[in-house]
Every structure is written in structure tokens, then in C-alpha cells.
Structure 1
Amino acid sequence: LKTLKHPSILKFLAYIKNSDEKWVITERVVPLETLIDKLSPTEICAGLYSVIEALAFLNDRGSICHNNICQTSIFVASDGTWKVGGLEYMRRFADVTGTFLQRTKDLRFKGAISPEEQVSLLYVSFASSLKFNFQAGDKCSTFEYRIREEFLNPDPKLRPKFNSLLQDPLFSDDYVSILNFLKKVTIKTEMEKKIFFSTVSEKLYSLPETTVATRLVHPLLSRFVLMDQNACELVIPHLLTPCKGAPDEINPLLTEDIFRRYVVPEIFKIFHVRDAHIRMVLLRHFADYVHLMTKSTLTTLFPQLLLGLRDCNDDLVAMTLHAVADLVPLMGGDIVIGAKRNRIFTEGTP
């Protein structure tokens, strides 16, 4: 676990041992079993995709087999990503002997045991052992058929590479394709990114609002997306502008309540990033969302905002001054400017 580095494999942090107990510390996750009934079909498809990526990495690139794929060996991170864990029975192909399989057989999940348990080269079935109940129509039936006929072929040598499952029609869903592109945005070409960001907005509108908010807001506001000019022009304005009071040229993705709950916390964290371009992206839309922040949040954010006034970038300074002005009606002039103020102007209206 310590040496395996993959975004879909549970991340190892530390190992602690004392006289009585041993502890393995990982990234913060929750068991999939506790969430599976609350997930939508699209989220389950995306999760399966992550599991396949992890197993393909282990099998096809590392010559390693997991040997115990089931719901209890899968966990979910805070951003919704499924992580493969439960690596107690993981072994390199050369070490999967008949003795090992027989000794651990009663301890492993029965649905994860392949037909040729006595063969040293073990490819495990995961589709049948996960036993997810969700409707995906013919795509799901085709997927299950491929698992049964191709990946559980009695002759292991005739089984296709595990990563070929990533091209299955089951994963042609818009949500899965968007999520996977954003995860790999750093290795995409400029043309690929231009095409993606010019078409992704329509796909986002077709998805449930809560799915966009809970699963896609974080990757859409990642550093590499915010640094992309096409994203800043074609997607970010619609994401950083909540529905109420939006300009005519903006078609907001999220309502104010959803925006307040999911986008505002992300914006708060991004304001601590010391990058001029990213800060100006946030400031460009500041007036559209600042009213959704609580006074407590604004008070904490205010010192970070004021840093922009001390920068040598004149554009950043100008945008920061506009943002400071937007805070006056919300926080009060005494807090924004300072309490030591005098009346300079008189009211001349009758």
C-alpha cells in the first residue's frame, strides 16, 4: 500500500505499531457500503470506472492481483472518488500459488474468487462481486456479458487486458466523460482542452444540479482549469455566477442555495492561493457571489482580499478595489475602511 501510487487506490499515510496493536493510517475515506444506497446510477458508473482504472494499474502494469474485490474493499473519498483498498490478499502474479489461494480462500469474499483458483496467474472478477443494483439498460447487460464471457474465460490467456473495459459503452455517460477529462486535464493538449471547454457547458446543464455541485465543482475550480483561458471564458462565468440577478449573457449552472452550500467553500479556499491569474478570475465575478457569503466568512476572507492592494500588478489592484467597494454594504464602512471616520460631506438635498 505504501508503494502503490494511483488516484484510485487508497493513499497510505503512516504505519504505527505498539506492543499490542498495529495501525495503518490512510487518507480520510468512508466505506462504500455506507453510501451505495444514496448514489445515483451515474455516480456508480463513475465509481466503477475508478475501480477498473485501479485494477488495470495493478494487473496490466504492476503484474499484481487484488484477490478480494468486493464492496467492503472499496472506499469513497470526500470528493466522491472511489478508492480500492482492502489489500490484505494482494500479491504479485508470481506469488499467487495454489497454497496461498487455498489458505486464504475461506477468508476472502466468495464472489471475488475466479474459476481457475489453482492457476498462478489470477485475474479477478469484480462486476459480479460488487452486486450493485442500478438501472443502466442495455449498456449494463452488455457490460455484465463482457465480464462473464470475456474476463471470466476459463482460459486466463484468452482474457483481454483489463484496461479495455474502460472503453465499454457503460462509461459513455456525460458525467463520467467530464469527470475523467478533468482528472487528466494536465496531460491534455491545447486543442483537446479547447474542444472540451467549448462543449462541456451544455453537458453540465443536462446533469442534475446536485451532481454538478457535489462532484464537479471541485475539479472545475482546480488550479489547472482556472489557469486555462478557454475555461475562464466559456465555463467559469456560468459556474461562478448564481442564478439570481445574472447578466443576460450568463446562463448560471447553480441556484443560489446550492451555490452557497458547495461553491462558496471552494472559493474561500482558493482565495488563499497566491496566484495573480487565479485571484483575478475570482475577483472578476466577485460582485455576483459575494452576497452569498456569511459575515463570518467575509471577516475571515477580508485580510486575504486586502493583500491584492499591495501587489505590483495594477490590474489586480484595481480589481481588488472594486471588490473592497462591494464589501461596504455587506460589512459596513467602519470594518472595511476603519472606524476613525469624520463627516466630510453634508447633505445638500432639501
Structure 2
Amino acid sequence: MSRLTDLLRAAKQLDPQLGEDLEAEIRPFQERLPFGLNFERHAPEAVELAGHKIRKGSKVRVLPSRGSTARGDQRVWVVTAIKEDSVDITTPSIEETETLTVDLDDLVLVAEFRDRIYPGLRPDGAVENGGDKPSHTVINGENFHVLEQLTFTHEQSVDAIYIDPPYNSGARDWKYNNDYVEGDDLYRHSKWLAFMERRLKLAKRLLKPHDSILVVTIDEKEYLRLGLLLEQTFPDADIQMVSTVINRKGNARRGEFSRCDEYMYFVRFGEAAIAAGPSDMLHEDTGRRSDNVRWKSLLRLASTGQTSGRFNLFYPLYFDSKTLKFTGSGEPLVSCAGSSLH
């Protein structure tokens, strides 16, 4: 639900006539469609801060049942009382108020986008194998807050940023809502675009203006709108989209054509240039012979790739070590029952 819709509904609750008058005045502005990308820059985001202590007055969400991948209750509640292992929560709405008592372990702390957050970093450990060579740093956190924090130390000093955002495909089994479409949005993809624009603006502050590159991957659901958003956000950059094959066999979709590729936007700033390379990201490089066997593509994935209950389906294949020609197969590896094959 867009922020503007929330405010209009609140105005109607306080003064119905005022709410209707505001709607009538705002509607013509919403219906105007100037050239370019149009979307409502509302702030619907709320990040779940797992592991943070819940106190009276905290904003929380009720988690789904343990082990469930179903989408949980997306409403934000406010804690009104904490009684040992149980918590009283209520909806922070001026409409009809709802109150619940739930287990403390079934709640997760929530910060909405407009809430002030002062993120900090704490070391979780280190793996040092490179001696004096440059090291890598992994920051585990909500990406907007991490990017915002990096602007204090790395503004205009980053050479390259690679972004693999949610594709707005409708998946709901991960931290970010992968379906940013809401029925009452005037522009259907507004929430996803608002989500992306905020992060792209931070990336712009981090990248070197005289020589850097931004790479963004996407599939066919949002690539058109992403291209327009990149052009509006980085008007002085050189932008090119290329196709890259990710599944040569094709990804089957019910009632649709299968797809084997996705898209990559390369946004170049200043003197950043493309260097010649052997790969076109579409075909295998047949000009060079490799002795490396692609074991992964020979093995079924998920549970069908395990020996358990399928011993007759696992057997050795023999190749001539000099000619690399197939010479035959052996007996099923039934003697390996209970062991793992790699």
C-alpha cells in the first residue's frame, strides 16, 4: 500500500470531506503521464532485524510457523507490554485497533524505512590465508543500511559495484519481498522501482565519477523499467545491456516459452572502458580445449542426485585416459549403500 494512500485514508478518518477534497485535487496529478519512467516514490519498506532485543514500544512482526516457507503476517505491530515469555502487541492504526498476545520467540523486530537507524559494525571473525595480499571484507546486513554506512568512508572511491537485486518474480521465501506489486498502486511496479532507486542513488555516491562501473543483473520481468531507471539515475553514464546464458537447456515455464538467458546492464562512468575478451557470454568457447570434466552437469540435483534408495542408478563410466573416448560402464555401486558419492 502506497504512503500516499495511507495518508489519504488517515485524513478521511479525521475529516471525511477533507479526505475526499484531497483525493479530487491529487487525482489529476496522478493521471498525468510525462515522458519517461513514472512511479510513486513511496516508502513501504520495512526490514526485519533478527536477533535484536524487543522492548516495550518496539515495532515487530509475527513470524510464520517454524519450518514454513509461507508468507507471514506482513502487518507491523507495536509492543505494549512484555510478560516473561509472552508479549502484548497492538496495531498502530487509527482505524479499528487489534490486540494480540503472542510468544516472544514468535516476534521479530522491525524497522520501517522512515525510522532512524544508526548501524554499526562488529567483527564476526576472520580467515587469513593471503599473507600481505589485499584482503576481502564481507558485511552481513540490510543492503541499504550497509551502503549508506559505506558513504562515510568510501564516497567516490569504489571501482566497481555488482548488484543482483530481487527480480520481482513473486518469490516470498527470503528476506526481501520478491513481489513488489500492490493492487492499489497507480503504477504497477512502483514499490520495486522505489526499492531499486534508493539503492542506486547510494551506489552513485560510492562509485568513482572519473573511472568506475556498475553492473546490474535482471530477468525479463523488469529489464525494461530497470533500463529507464538507470538512464534517469545516471544520465551522464554510458549504459549497455547484454544477454548472458545462464541455463543452456532452458528454464521450463508452464504456459510460457522456456528461457535460457538473463540480462546484465553495464553502466560505465568516466574513462571506464570495455576490454577485449574471449567470451561472448552466449556460446561455449570451442577454440580452447579443456581437460576439466564438468561433473556437476552429469549429476542430477536435489534428492534425485543421492544414492539413498537409488543404488542401481549409480555406476562407473570408463574413459580412455589418452584419447578421452568412452569405453564402457561398470556394475551398479550397490556396495556403497549408506555412503556418500562425490
Normalising by structure 1, what TM-score?
A: 0.28
Higher-helix-fraction structure: 1
> Which structure ranks higher in relative contact order (CA pairs < 8 Å, sequence separation ≥ 6)?
2
Normalising by structure 2, what TM-score?
A: 0.28
